[in-house]
Amino acid sequence: MTDTILEVKDMKKYFNSPKGKVHAVDGVSFSIERGSTLGIVGESGCGKSTIGKSILRLTEPSDGQVFFEGKDITEISKREMRRLRKDMQIVFQDPYSSLNPRKTVSQAIREPIVINNIIKGKDAINDRVVELMEMVGLDQRLYNTYPHELDGGRRQRICIARALAVEPKFILCDEPVSALDVSIQAQILNLMKDLQEQLGLTYIFITHDLSVVKFFSDRIIVMYLGKVVETASADDLFKNPVHPYTQALLSSIPVPDLEARKERIMLSGEISSPINPKNECRFAKRCRFVMDVCHESAPDLTEISEGHCVACHLLKTK
Amino acid sequence: MNSNDKKVLEVKNLTVTYESEGSVVEAVNGINLDLTARKTVGLVGETGAGKTTTALSLLGLVQKPQGHVKNGKIIINGKNILEMTEKELENIRGKEIAMIFQDPMTALNPVMTVGDQIAESIVKHEKVKYEEAFAKASELLETVGIDKARAKEYPHQFSGGMRQRVVIAIALACRPGILIADEPTTALDVTIQAQVLDMMKKLKDEYETSMIMITHDLGVVAEICDEVAVMYAGHILEYGVLEDIFNRTKHPYTEGLFNSIPDINDDKIRLVPIDGGMPDPSNLPKGCVFHPRCPYADEKCKTEKPELKNISETHQVACIAYDRPGFSLGRSNS
Ligand SMILES: Nc1ncnc2c1ncn2[C@@H]1O[C@H](COP(=O)(O)OP(=O)(O)OP(=O)(O)O)[C@@H](O)[C@H]1O
Ligand SMILES: Nc1ncnc2c1ncn2[C@@H]1O[C@H](COP(=O)(O)OP(=O)(O)OP(=O)(O)O)[C@@H](O)[C@H]1O
Ligand SMILES: [Mg+2]
Ligand SMILES: [Mg+2]
């Protein structure tokens, strides 16, 4: 039996812009198993953050459903949603702007405990703050320091402690380590992995860094201009990428290894605009295998082997 | 490094500080650097290592009044940059030495067409008519992969990758002998980064430009550099040809950087981060600047400042742990 914690069905999010409708997310479906990590990758503007925000209803999706533990949370009231946010937390890229500069480390961590009424009694709350600081590796001597006195890595630890304070089941991580130096990034990634194991957390991990997503995820979704082009287990995706975009993306990663020099698939052109897209494959303009049919309709996501789905017209020609 | 190869740039004992309200940031602390004709040297290191400050020094652009070049020599084609007047500096910037910044938007003028911006740079250094310069500018756009019909468009009409290519076109307009690129692809998507790096490699060969590539990405270094200087807290800790740094790693900090990156060719379950965080630049550790985070540090490292010493003809490392008999790093080196 699989234990699905979150399911997204045909999610769409369109924004109005002076030039037309921005199809930021255009019919995306996936589900996540409890205790696992789903990575969402793709280039700037492909809709990763918009999916995240729509799941938590920080922005209202234009269409589609989100089931959390079986319940359609696109239907529930704002008030009920607020209560559910206890179970569903978010950690953002920029640990600085998501912290109040006038609150000390302990005050910042105490806040969500008090607001959500997680624990009552001053001593119990203080104990919990100390415990949370320990969990995320913040030294007790930082109890009364302010965020600006700390480096990015420690600030991100505060954000993680705040997310954990309400004892969530699910955490959406939107580029949580992108702003950090590699030596600090590695500390935070290890921490997040340990916490997942200890607490049975489920993560969505949004990033544009493919080496990080491979290290961190069980399953991966590759997006291109609002659509899923390929989804597979992390191993499968890296061993056997099928979509021409995934292939190009993986081959573009600069590898810090002199022996690993490999064939690079160079894409020409740049990502096209997500405004009023035609009914065609959105990657057609940059694709080295483009055929007439690619301009005639958008390919559907099709399962090619267990758990491995690809949206590409090439599949039909094989 | 063949001794017959011509040095186009020599940095000797460069020391730069930023001073404000009683606190002194020691940004660059006595570094030495050589650039040989047609080679690319990578400056690698994390935030605050002093990479940008080093680059700005080479162009005489360290920000005043806080910034002070305290000491050192920067010799470009036989002349010491640090003894030049502003006017003399103006004349060599762009022509003998040019720089590409990380954020293309700050480098471009938003109210001027990209064609005009490239042409302006050409007119400034070469005695040509404007029409001729503009025609040359259009050609350069084609060289960096942008349709010359778009020369009359403004920066905001271009995507991030295209803007960065325009910045590269401006930098290359006068065929500078030395090109400094400060994180030129960090803000770009990987597929666009691959295009831009590929283009830079080709142009560098074609124009016979020597280059300093500043980056925090060891993958990018492997891609484009011939030599590498690993910087930390204003010091060069290890210096060598690409194979020295990647396959014969000697400094614990360099090892820590490699261990911190998830490797797509290797299924690591856990990463091995470097403990702790960056030191306070206005209060650098005594002894070796890296010792508080170094897993190999002993008492001596807390007091004795290591010098960058040659361990082979091409390879230098600043680490006194090698004074201990039989010392070696955990990283398996080929
Ligand atoms: N509030 C908004 N109004 C209009 N358009 C928006 C809004 N938010 C996002 N978009 C557009 O929706 C698309 C998807 O944006 P989104 O931020 O989800 O991308 P992303 O994949 O997270 O990119 P990045 O890697 O740069 O963070 C983009 O074209 C973006 O310009
Ligand atoms: N204008 C300035 N005034 C004061 N301090 C400065 C100034 N510019 C840089 N510094 C400080 O000098 C040190 C070196 O900074 P520099 O920008 O050269 O590092 P970097 O290696 O380029 O880092 P990054 O990877 O973040 O770009 C840092 O501690 C920085 O805070
Ligand atoms: Mg985003
Ligand atoms: Mg810099």
- Establish whether the linkage from the previous residue to B65 is cis, with ω within 30° of 0: yes
How many H-runs (helices) and E-runs (strands) does chain A carry?
10, 12
What pLDDT score does B146 carry? Answer: 87
ipTM of the complex: 0.89
Q: Give every CB contact of residue A248 below 8 A, 6+ residues apart in sequence.
A: A265, A266, A267, A286, B191
B195: three-class secondary structure by DSSP: helix
Q: Is the pLDDT of residue B110 over 50?
A: yes
Q: What is the pLDDT of residues B300-334, one digit of tens each?
A: 999 999 999 999 999 999 999 999 999 999 876 64
What pLDDT score does B333 carry? Answer: 61
Q: Is the CB of B245 under 6 A from ligand 2?
A: no
Max Cα separation, chain A? 69
Q: How many CA atoms lie within 13 A of B105 on its CB side?
A: 7
The CA-CA-CA angle for residues B261, B265, B266, to 5°, reads 70
Q: What is the pLDDT of residues A48-81, one digit of tens each?
A: 999 999 999 999 999 999 999 999 999 999 889 8
User: How far apart are the CA of B91 and the centre of ligand 3, in A?
Assistant: 42
Inter-residue contact A30 to A92 (CB < 8 Å):
no
Residue with token string 């696992």: A36
Helices marked H in chain B — which ranges?
A: 51-58, 86-92, 104-107, 114-125, 130-143, 160-172, 190-207, 218-224, 242-247, 252-260, 299-303
The stretch B82-92 carries a mean pLDDT of 92
Buried b (16+ CB within 10 A) or exposed e, A269-289: ebbeebeebeebbbbbbbbee
Residue with token string 């573009």: A252
Inter-residue contact A311 to A300 (CB < 8 Å):
yes
Q: Which of B143, B142, B141 is nearest to B155 (CA)?
A: B141
If one residue of B15, B23, B24, B53 were mutated to test the ligand 2 pocket, choosing by the most ligand atoms within 8 A of its CB, it would be B53
Residue with token string 């999916």: A51
User: What residues are in contact with ligand 1 under a 6 Å CB criterion?
Assistant: A 15, 17, 22, 24, 42, 44-50, 208, 274
Q: What is the pLDDT of residues B175-202, one digit of tens each?
A: 899 999 999 988 888 988 898 898 889 8
How far is it, in rounded angstroms, from Cα B166 to Cα B172? 10
The stretch B98-120 carries a mean pLDDT of 89
Instruction: Name the band, by pLDDT with cuts 50, 70 and 90, for residue B1.
Output: very low
What pLDDT score does B332 carry? Answer: 64
Structural element, H or E, at residue B75: strand B67-76
If one residue of B25, B57, B237 were mutated to test the ligand 2 pocket, choosing by the most ligand atoms within 8 A of its CB, it would be B25
What pLDDT score does B20 carry? Answer: 84
Q: Amino acid identity of B296?
A: Y
Taken in order B234, B240, B243, B247, the sign of the CA dihedral is negative
Ligand lying closest to the C-alpha of residue B49: 2
Q: B243 and chain A: CB distance < 8 Å anywhere?
A: yes
How far is it, in rounded angstroms, from Cα B334 to Cα B329? 12
Residues of chain A with pLDDT under 70: 1, 261, 318
Instruction: Name the band, by pLDDT with cuts 50, 70 and 90, for residue B87.
Output: very high
What pLDDT score does A19 carry? Answer: 86
User: How far apart are the CA of B103 and the centre of ligand 2, in A?
Assistant: 16
The stretch B281-290 carries a mean pLDDT of 95
What pLDDT score does A124 carry? Answer: 96
User: How far apart are the CA of A178 and the centre of ligand 3, in A?
Assistant: 11
